[in-house]
Amino acid sequence: MTFDYRKLEEDLTQLLAAMTSLAPSEVSEVREFLAAGEYGVAFETLCGIIKEESKPVPKDVRRKIRELAERMKIDPTWWAGISNGE
């Protein structure tokens, strides 16, 4: 079974675009990791920004965070509070 990295990058890019509360510098930081193919680091950075800066996360985005994290096998400590709306 081959992992579809193109789809993963697309999903992460859409997730990033849906987070309208992010500052341009925060978006740039995550995009740098996406451009380098560091998808796990991009996801963890996004979650870190959301938590540290108490960014509001729309309900549909919280669901996508959970789905992506589970697909990527990201440790729940990075995303659990966000996907639950905490």
4-56 confidence digits (pLDDT tens): 999 999 999 999 999 999 999 999 999 999 999 999 999 999 999 999 999 99
pLDDT of residue 40: 95
Is 80 exceeded by the pLDDT of residue 83? Answer: no
pTM for this prediction? 0.90
pLDDT band at 80 (very low <50, low <70, confident <90, very high): confident
Q: Please name the residues in contact with 57: beta carbons below 8 A apart, sequence gap of 6 or more.
A: 19, 21, 50, 65, 82, 85
Q: For 55-80, b where at least 16 C-beta lie within 10 A, e where not — what string?
A: bebeeebbebbbebbeebebeeebbe
Predicted confidence band of residue 73 (pLDDT cuts 50, 70, 90): very high
C-alpha–C-alpha distance, residues 65 and 37, integer Å:
18
**What gap in Å lies between CA 73 and CA 25, rounded to an integer?**
27
